[in-house]
């Protein structure tokens, strides 16, 4: 379920409070690549498979990329449409 938010600040607040979809969505909107990666990894660690796919796409390490894709596939999901 995607959180209902009205501003980037409230999305960040939702992510900080631990709402997993908000972590993923906030990570997607981060302009800073390090912040983006940090939030996507937070969502990934909470088993958000869309975040796993996104992390795999952005990963520069082929083995890490493969691991994220295999993990997401094992959970039986596909990426959210962009």
**Please, are residues 25 and 2 in contact by the beta-carbon 8 Å criterion?**
yes
Contacts of 21 (CB under 8 A, 6+ apart): 1, 2, 3, 43, 48
Residue 35 pLDDT:
93
On the question of pLDDT at 21 being above 60, the answer is yes
- Quick check: is 2 in a domain? no
Residue 3 pLDDT:
44
Number of separate domains in the chain: 1
Q: 15 lies in which domain range?
A: 8-74
Residue 5 pLDDT:
46
- Quick check: is 47 in a domain? yes
- Quick check: is 29 in a domain? yes
pTM: 0.74
Token pair for residue 76? 């039986």
- Quick check: is 44 in a domain? yes
Question: Average pLDDT in the 16-37 region?
Answer: 92
Q: Each residue of 34-81: pLDDT tens digit? A: 999 999 999 988 888 888 888 888 888 999 999 988 988 888 766 565
- Quick check: is 24 in a domain? yes
Neighbours of 59 (CB within 10 A): 17
- Quick check: is 1 in a domain? no
- Quick check: is 59 in a domain? yes
């Amino acid at each position: 379920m995607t959180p209902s938010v009205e501003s980037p600040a409230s999305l960040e607040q939702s992510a900080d409070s631990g709402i997993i979809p908000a972590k993923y969505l906030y990570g997607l909107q981060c302009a800073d690549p390090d912040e983006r990666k940090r939030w996507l990894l937070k969502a990934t660690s909470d088993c958000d498979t869309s975040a796993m796919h996104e992390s795999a796409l952005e990963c520069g390490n082929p083995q890490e990329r493969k691991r994220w894709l295999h993990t997401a596939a094992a959970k039986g999901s596909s990426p959210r449409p962009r």
